[in-house]
Chains A and B, each alone.
Chain A
Amino acid sequence: MRPKKKVKLKDIADALDVSVVTVSNALAGRKGVSETLREEIVNKASAMGYAFSSEEDGEKHIPKKHPKSAGFLIVQDSTATEMPWQNAVAKKALQEGERENIQLHLLHTSKDDLMHGVPAGFAEFSGLIVCGRLPAKLLQNIMRQLQIPVICCGFFDSHERLDFVLDDGFHNMQLVYDLLTQLGHRNIHLVCGSTDVPEIHDHFLGAAFQAAVHRTRDATELPYMPDPKECTISRFIHLAEEEKATAAICTDSESALSLIATLKAKGFSVPADISVTGYSADPAGTRQGLTEIVPDINRIAMLAVKLLSHRINGKAEAAGVWPVSGQLIRGTSAGPVKKGEKTECLKKG
């Protein structure tokens, strides 16, 4: 990319007739160089086109390898105006990129724009992180045109042999299930939101899996395969009124909030009567006192950049799905099961 030969410390030293150590000290901001000389050296260095390593952190002047340039593509959803999780991943990824010596360029694009082809600027990149679901065709287009390592963030597509770093929505349901069972709940129901997207499927099936696993411990016989049953808000209210439910695991935080509102309207108190948990895609959480799961954005970003670095430097091949554990935010919507509640299923072992 850059045919010009790289300027070395020695070149600067020769040009000013000082020692290499002096140049090094001057550029790194260490002691032992007069201010006037330092200024002179810095001016000369920039005049000659010396590649300064980031001046602020200044500890190591030893010229790093020229940073690799890579793209961080945020796929804009036409319906959503804000992209909280993508932006949070991007912010952390940019920091991580510096540590891995990859200069990430942040790009916002919509699916529609990508339909017309890959933007010309992409040709400069030695790698790409795609953050947000891209249809298989667009992904294939990018791969075919660019022929560079691609790391996908926040979604999975079985058609491509790529790395997919994503929130482990399936196993994360363990966090709320363990919490509720520790709080003594046994009549836990799964309340589904109306959105029908792969992430919600993970939460739904993950909760069903936990239900199956937890029941195994109490029961000697189990149907040979669990059959997850979803429950609407009105159905759950009905169960609560019949004292057949003490807790609701919601597949998303929006339905958790509307369930809480409906419960309160019906005279239930949360969490004294009924515990409710949610699942937020927004790393900052919904912040309404909800006990909810959130993705571990920092780990997702760090892993994506690390994998990209390995791929660019030829240290690894694409290895498939990398599920990243989430975190539980302990709000106030889940509490101990109400005393005197029917706990006939509870067998302490």
Chain B
Amino acid sequence: MSEKRLKDVALAMGVSVVTVSNALSGRKGVSPATAEAIVDKAVELGVDLSRYRSRKNNSYTIGIFVSSRYISLGDSFYWKMYEKTAYAASRKHCFSMLEISDEESEKTPLPEMLRQQQIDGLIIIGRLQEDYMIKIIRHSSVPIVLLDVYSSTYHCSAVMSNNYYGMYRSTAYLIDHGHREIGFVGTGITSNNVIERFMGYRKCLMDYGLPFHPEYVVRDRDINERIILQLPDKLPTAFACSSDYAAQFLEMELSKRGLRIPDDISVTGYDNFLYKRAESIPYTTYNVDMEQMGRTAVKMLIRKIEGRDSTACAKYIDSTMIERSSVKTLLPKGEDHLA
């Protein structure tokens, strides 16, 4: 009977039965996009997935918790992060449940899915109100892994973008293209991630022996996350931005002064997550590998659920620069640094 079911999925998708079987049991040989589509179709047709999932690995229900502040936008960074994480969970034969918190629910004792004891483990994406975060971590009956947020006081494992070295790469890219006067765009109060990125920018200047100019540090938002970008009178030749989002507002401010990227000023971004705006320049940016982050978080959580890992540590996922067209080369490539 189940053979027929697999065949139904195969016919509906126009792929072979073997491909469907591989996709459902999470084996290799199927592209992630196809596998995702096949799993979706199988669910739609009512195929009993549990028999494919429980064959080799144990199946768990993973709760994913995100603050509405970061996910309300239709195409937000954390929404994409959620998708990648949910997909990584399905590849590990786990079910995932999404709960979105808002200011009201952050007054309740614990997230609904924890209170209802529906989940085997929890992934929290991004910041929550400090007190609420600590409360959840302290009172949760299931293991927790944080994604893109970390503090040593939480005593909880986390998977992070490699903020420090990532921003170093973004800054070094500008230096390698002949820039010596480099500014930074980002606000530290809103996020430790941005402070880490700022420190990575500082490290790069220090390692290359370049002076730091405080006046070239531009904040992009205030404590309520309102955009308040103000350019200094004297501009550097390039800005390393703490996010692609910040780079966009920088671009807007620059255009008010009649300055264009990259002809008049060069810019690198961070995260490779462009908010879709037709008029925006394709930024050269440091990629945040959301897929790898989601996969690592799920893997880490499963280890904790199975009692194979009880440490509380942060894991930093590195990636690479994506070269686009927001940087102008000022000089022929200089001498090697630190030679």
Chain B residues, CB < 8 A from A221: 189, 223
- Whether A213 contacts B203 by the Cβ 8 Å rule is no
- Whether A213 contacts B318 by the Cβ 8 Å rule is no
- Whether A158 contacts B187 by the Cβ 8 Å rule is no
Which listed segment binds B: A55-63, A91-99, A130-138, A267-275? Answer: A130-138
Residue of A nearest to B314 (CB): A171
- Whether A158 contacts B168 by the Cβ 8 Å rule is yes
Kindly state the separation between the CA atoms of A206 and B219 in the bound complex, as whole angstroms.
21
From residue 127 to 161 of chain A, which have CB atoms closer than 8 A to chain B? 133, 135-137, 156, 158-159, 161
Chain A residues, CB < 8 A from B168: 156, 158
Chain A residues, CB < 8 A from B198: 225-226
- Whether A136 contacts B337 by the Cβ 8 Å rule is yes
Chain B residues, CB < 8 A from A223: 188
Question: B164 within 8 Å of A by Cβ?
Answer: yes
Chain A residues, CB < 8 A from B327: none
- Whether B188 contacts A226 by the Cβ 8 Å rule is yes
Residue of B nearest to A219 (CB): B189
- Whether A319 contacts B199 by the Cβ 8 Å rule is no
Question: A201 within 8 Å of B by Cβ?
Answer: yes
Kindly state the separation between the CA atoms of A205 and B168 in the bound complex, as whole angstroms.
13
Question: B263 within 8 Å of A by Cβ?
Answer: no
Q: How would you classify the secondary structure of chain A's contact residues: helix, strand, loop or mixed? A: mixed
Question: B68 within 8 Å of A by Cβ?
Answer: no
- Whether A227 contacts B196 by the Cβ 8 Å rule is no
Residue of A nearest to B222 (CB): A224
From residue 305 to 339 of chain B, which have CB atoms closer than 8 A to chain A? 313-314, 316, 318-320, 336-339
Per-residue CB contact flags for chain A residues 308-349 toward chain B (1 = under 8 Å, else 0) read 000000000001111101000000000000000000000000
Residue of B nearest to A224 (CB): B219
- Whether B195 contacts A212 by the Cβ 8 Å rule is yes
A321 contact from B162, B217, B339, Cβ within 8 A = B162
Per-residue CB contact flags for chain B residues 158-202 toward chain A (1 = under 8 Å, else 0) read 000010110011001100100000000011110010011011001
Kindly state the separation between the CA atoms of A208 and B188 in the bound complex, as whole angstroms.
13
Chain B residues, CB < 8 A from A178: 152
Q: A198-B203, A320-B318, A320-B319 are in contact. Are A213 and B195 (CB under 8 A)?
A: yes
- Whether B214 contacts A201 by the Cβ 8 Å rule is no
Question: A1 within 8 Å of B by Cβ?
Answer: no
Q: A205-B199, A320-B165 are in contact. Are A213 and B336 (CB under 8 A)?
A: no
Q: Which of B169, B186, B336, B339 has most chain A Cβ within 10 Å?
A: B336
- Whether B199 contacts A158 by the Cβ 8 Å rule is no
Residue of B nearest to A111 (CB): B339
Kindly state the separation between the CA atoms of A212 and B189 in the bound complex, as whole angstroms.
9
Kindly state the separation between the CA atoms of A159 and B333 in the bound complex, as whole angstroms.
12
A227 contact from B189, B207, B214, Cβ within 8 A = B214
Residue of A nearest to B316 (CB): A323
- Whether A209 contacts B195 by the Cβ 8 Å rule is yes
Chain A residues, CB < 8 A from B189: 216, 221-222, 224
Chain A residues, CB < 8 A from B337: 136
B206 contact from A133, A156, A201, A222, Cβ within 8 A = A201
Residue of A nearest to B176 (CB): A159
Chain B residues, CB < 8 A from A201: 203, 206-207
Question: A174 within 8 Å of B by Cβ?
Answer: yes
Kindly state the separation between the CA atoms of A171 and B160 in the bound complex, as whole angstroms.
12
Question: A236 within 8 Å of B by Cβ?
Answer: no
Question: A228 within 8 Å of B by Cβ?
Answer: yes
Per-residue CB contact flags for chain B residues 268-293 toward chain A (1 = under 8 Å, else 0) read 00000000000000000000000010
Question: B153 within 8 Å of A by Cβ?
Answer: yes
Kindly state the separation between the CA atoms of A222 and B192 in the bound complex, as whole angstroms.
12
- Nearest CB in chain B: distance from A349 CB, A: 9
- Whether B188 contacts A225 by the Cβ 8 Å rule is yes
Per-residue CB contact flags for chain B residues 57-91 toward chain A (1 = under 8 Å, else 0) read 00000000000000000000000000000000000
What would be 23 A-B contacts, judged by CB atoms less than 8 Å apart? A133-B338, A137-B336, A156-B165, A156-B168, A158-B172, A170-B196, A198-B338, A205-B206, A208-B199, A209-B199, A213-B192, A216-B189, A217-B153, A221-B189, A224-B187, A224-B219, A225-B188, A225-B219, A226-B195, A228-B202, A319-B292, A320-B165, A321-B318
19 further A-B contacts with Cβ under 8 Å, apart from A170-B164, A198-B207, A226-B198, are A133-B338, A135-B339, A136-B338, A136-B339, A156-B165, A156-B168, A174-B152, A178-B152, A201-B207, A202-B203, A209-B199, A223-B188, A225-B198, A226-B195, A319-B318, A320-B318, A322-B318, A323-B164, A325-B313
